[in-house]
Every structure is written in structure tokens, then in C-alpha cells.
Structure 1
Amino acid sequence: MGKSKLIIAAAFMSMSLSAFGAGAHGDEHKHGASVEKVGKPGKASDVSRTITVAMFDNYYEPEEISVRSGETVRFVVKNEGVMVHEFNIGTAAMHKAHQEEMLVMMKHGVIQGNKINHEMMEMDMGDGQSMKHDDPNSVLLEPGQSQEIIWTFSGDGNIEFACNVPGHYQSGMVGDVKFN
């Protein structure tokens, strides 16, 4: 399973970055009403359970998560791969918009294969935007790093967790959030 996905990811990574179509920031990815489609940051005191998510090169374990609408879950996310990976909770449309932002981060040297240039994250992109990756529904991790997200789910489906580093989503680094 992993070998063919790695080959596909390598092909995407070796393509010209312009082939992915660098674009402006999509409002569908973060802030306001779009994030509310999938939930909101949760409180530690409301956590009903903890789910450990391991990120490998280019898949997650587990590959699917079941939740209840209104449930608050603590995710302990660890990057077990050799490349930078992301765990991002959103809809397919949110991921598509975020992939454009991640492409800009890669083009500007913020994401560098197996490391993150944290100084570059502070770079001013205009209109008060930076390349900070600090949304409450997402973590971006170097190999060996781990971090937690506490999230309260809303809605009734069409939610995924995904890695939006260029080429990773396309190679299959995406999982479903199922509501029960």
C-alpha cells in the first residue's frame, strides 16, 4: 500500500509547482462560517475520548474515524513519516482551498521536504496575511513531532481529515470522518 502511494507522491512533488496552480487564499479553508460546517475548537473539559492518529508517508492510521455530532475529541497526532505532514479536519472544498495555500508555503520555502522553516512562516503575504499555520482544525508537523487538537464536531457528514502538503492528498493521504 505505502510503496505505490510514495511513487505517486514523488511524481506530484517532482512536477512543476506551477502545475498545481498557485492561487489566492480560499475563504472556504478557514475562519468564520466555513469552519463551523465541520465543528469548532473544543474545551479539554468536554473531551469524551482521545484518538491517536499516526501520519505515515502518505497515509494515516486509522484511515477512518467515527464521531457523533456534538462530540468533543482530543486528537493526538504524530508524524511517523520522513516528510512534513498535516492533519487537517475539513470538507473536500476546504481542503482544495487549503492546498493552494500550502502550495504557496512550499513555493516560498516554508515547507522543505522534511522540515518547516518557521521564520518564513512570519513572512508578510500582503493584506495582513502571513504563512502561519495556526488554524485550530489543523497541525503541520515535521518527522517525529506530535501535537494535539481538541475538536467539537458538528454536522452530519462529508468531513475528511487530510494532508494538504502538495501531492499528499492526491496520493491518498485522506481519511473519512463518519457520523454515527
Structure 2
Amino acid sequence: MKGLIFAAALSVLSLPVLAAPGHEFAFGQPAPAAKATRTVQVVLGDMYFEPGDLTVKAGETVRFVVTNKGQVPHEFNLGDATMHARHQQEMLAMQGQMDHSAMGHGSMDHSKMAGGAMKHDDPNMVMVDPGKQGELTWTFSKPGAIEFACNVPGHYQAGMVGKLTIAQ
């Protein structure tokens, strides 16, 4: 019996280590900047990305240098439409946990986002304060189409979303 328990424990320990739940991505994985084979500059403006469409290759590691030229915090988030919808709900929940007296009724205090209660650390995104720069390096695993988006409440709906094609 001891041998069976030992064998079971050993087999569990030999399983591959997976990313934390909710942090597994069909389109690739985060990578260190030193592994990047290309750097892409992305500008975040108030309700737009420049460029609005990007193409990368499957297997390519891309370092995104993201500059916020807008007046409020924005994020650069890689994912599909379903992932963005889920993330938007999480952002709304974070907004609800913020001090509503500082926000007023229905208005959004963007100053509390990147440096405050809306700060979060998902491997597929970077939140950038106005006038600041952030980076995200990603290895794209297989061909397909995803989006890059800002999921700060209301920004995606206002058009702050772009198409990212992962070519063969």
C-alpha cells in the first residue's frame, strides 16, 4: 500500500506546471523581453489604438511598447471577444469596490484606475497611466485572429479595440 501511495505522489509531482487558473491562453504565452524577435510601438489615445490592426506570425515573440498619449489610464489587453467581455465584468466589479464618494454618481474617476483600485496584473495585459509607457512581450503559438483592447469600463464599447491577426 505504501508503494502505491508513493507512486501516486510521484506521478502528481511529475505533472507539468501549468499557469494559474484563468491564465492559460490558446493563442500563446508571456515571454521575457530579451526573447523578442520584433518590437511593435502602439499608441493608446482616448478611445483609439494606433495602429488599429496588427499582424504577427505564429511562433513569433513580439515586444509591444505601449505609450498612453490619452488623458486617462488605458490598458493594452490581448484576447478574444469572450475574454474581453469577461475582463470587462471584472473591471466593473473593481470599479464597484472603489470609493464611490470620490467618483460621484455614475461618473468615472479615471485617476483611481492604473495607480489605484483598478490596478491588476494579468499576464496578457498592461495598464498605462496618461503620459506613461508600458511593455508586454508575448509569444504567439498558432494562427488565428484575436483582439487587443482596452477594457476600462466603457472604452471597448467606445471603439477602443483592434484586430490582431496571427499569420502562419
Give TM-score, length-normalised by structure 1: 0.71
- Asked if the contact 1:38/1:89 (under 8 Å) is kept, the reply is no
Match of 2:152, SS?
Answer: coil
Percent of residue pairs bearing the same amino acid type: 48
User: What is the alpha-carbon root mean square deviation over aligned residues?
Assistant: 2.2
2:154 to 153, 158, 167: 167
- Asked if the contact 1:91/1:159 (under 8 Å) is kept, the reply is yes
- Asked if the contact 2:114/2:129 (under 8 Å) is kept, the reply is no
Counterpart for residue 149 of structure 1: 136
- Asked if the contact 1:162/1:175 (under 8 Å) is kept, the reply is yes
2:45 to 34, 42, 56: 56
Counterpart for residue 70 of structure 1: 59
What amino acid is the match of 1:39?
Answer: G
Counterpart for residue 124 of structure 1: none
TM-superposed deviation, 1:108:
2.0
- Asked if the contact 1:156/1:179 (under 8 Å) is kept, the reply is yes
What amino acid is the match of 2:127?
Answer: L
| Largest Rg, 1 or 2 | 2
Counterpart for residue 98 of structure 1: 87
Q: What are the ranges of 5 or more consecutive residues in structure 2 without an aligned counterpart? A: 1-18, 100-107
- Asked if the contact 1:73/1:152 (under 8 Å) is kept, the reply is yes
Give TM-score, length-normalised by structure 2: 0.75
Runs of 4+ in 1 over 4 A off after TM superposition: 30-34
Match of 2:40, SS?
Answer: strand
